Every structure is written in C-alpha cells, then in structure tokens.
C-alpha cells in the first residue's frame, strides 16, 4: 500500500469508498449511518485544495514490490482532515471493506501525524462512536485517548454541536486526542 495526496479527479471514488465502508453500520443496527450520503464533491474538493486529503492506493505487484505506477492506481481508502483550534482534526477515515484489516487506516492516521509533527502541531483530534468496534476502540489502539467534555476546545464543541444537529448523538459519541 502506498499513501499519497488525493487528487481532484478522484473525488467520486472517495465517495464510493465512504458508501462501501458505511454499509457495515447496517449490520450493527445503525442503518441511518449506512444510508448517510458522503460529503458533497465541493466539500471534498476543499480538503484536496487545502492539501488535507490523502489516499491509500494498492501499489504492489504480484510479487509484493511497490509498483512504479502506484500513483495511477485507484484509491482504496482515504483520510481528510481540517484545522481546528491550532490542531489537525480527522474529519473522515474510510477504508473500502475489500481492503479492511490491513493497517491502512492506521497508516493514513500516521501520515497525518507526520504532517502535523512537521508543522509543529502537538495533537490530532477526532470525534467517533464509542460503542462501534472499528471506531473508538480502534482509535484507542492507534494512540487516541478520550477527552472529557471539560477539555474540549471551542472548535471541538462546535463540531460536536453540528454532529448533534445531524442526529449522530442518537448513539454515544466521544472526542478523542492523540498527542504527538
């Protein structure tokens, strides 16, 4: 697997990845999440233009060596981030189910951490479902820790309020931070 910056001509592929990745929510009684549409193309384009979107592409040939044309391979996963209160906030990480459980999501998070460290950013944040195995428990294994409500920055409180307006608080959610 190779990670690179996302390109504007891949935005519909990113939407397809998010739709496919979201289907597993149906299996755990969260059909509303499974049916939720991905971000619009214009919003995804904003992340790409800001340099805050990465994709994972299958860059290995049959022998497992990294292919020279891995950059031309279609994405199988992506991560978008935003700047929130002086930090980098993970807005979305999606891995196509056909490529799940291979460390791709972790590799995308690590790429964001590298970018953050290079910029002098001290932490990554995200919001997620607490009781979904591939959400909060997964992110804890990736070095994120839950934040108490009193530790939320104004930007994180605003994100949580938008999530509540969108109906996401129907299921327990948490803000998490990974100190770099």
- Identify the CATH number of the domain in which residue 172 sits: 3.40.630.30
Q: So what's the pLDDT on residue 176?
A: 98
Per-residue pLDDT of the chain (180 residues; tens, 9 = 90+): 899 999 999 999 999 999 999 999 999 999 999 999 999 999 999 999 999 999 999 875 333 344 445 557 899 999 999 999 999 999 999 999 999 999 999 999 999 999 999 999 999 999 999 999 999 999 999 999 999 999 999 999 999 999 999 999 999 999 999 999
DSSP per position, 62-93? TTSPBPTTGGGSPEEEEEEEEEETTEEEEEEE
Nearest to 163 by CA among 14, 64, 32, 41: 32
Q: So what's the pLDDT on residue 62?
A: 32
Q: So what's the pLDDT on residue 70?
A: 53
Within 102-153, residue ranges assigned H as helices are 104-119, 136-141
Residue 36, domain extent: 2-179
| Total domains in the fold of the chain | 1
The neighbour count for residue 122, using CB atoms within 10 Å, is 13
The two three-digit tokens of residue 124, written as one number:
């990554």
Residues in the chain: 180
């Amino acid at each position: 697997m190779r990670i690179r910056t996302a390109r504007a001509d891949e935005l519909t592929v990113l939407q397809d990845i998010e739709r496919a990745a979201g289907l597993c929510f149906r299996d755990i009684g969260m059909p509303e999440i499974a049916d939720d549409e991905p971000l619009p193309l214009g919003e995804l384009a904003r992340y790409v233009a800001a340099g805050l979107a990465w994709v994972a592409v299958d860059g290995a040939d049959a022998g497992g060596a990294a292919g020279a044309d891995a950059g031309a391979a279609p994405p199988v996963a992506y991560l978008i981030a935003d700047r929130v209160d002086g930090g980098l906030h993970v807005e979305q990480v999606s891995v196509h189910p056909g490529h799940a459980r291979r460390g791709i999501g972790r590799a995308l998070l690590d790429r964001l951490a590298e970018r953050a460290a290079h910029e002098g950013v001290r932490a990554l944040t995200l919001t997620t479902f607490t009781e979904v195995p591939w959400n909060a428990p997964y992110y804890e294994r990736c070095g994120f820790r839950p934040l108490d409500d009193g530790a939320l920055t104004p930007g994180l409180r605003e994100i949580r309020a938008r999530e509540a307006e969108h109906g996401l608080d129907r299921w327990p959610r948490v803000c998490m931070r990974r100190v770099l």
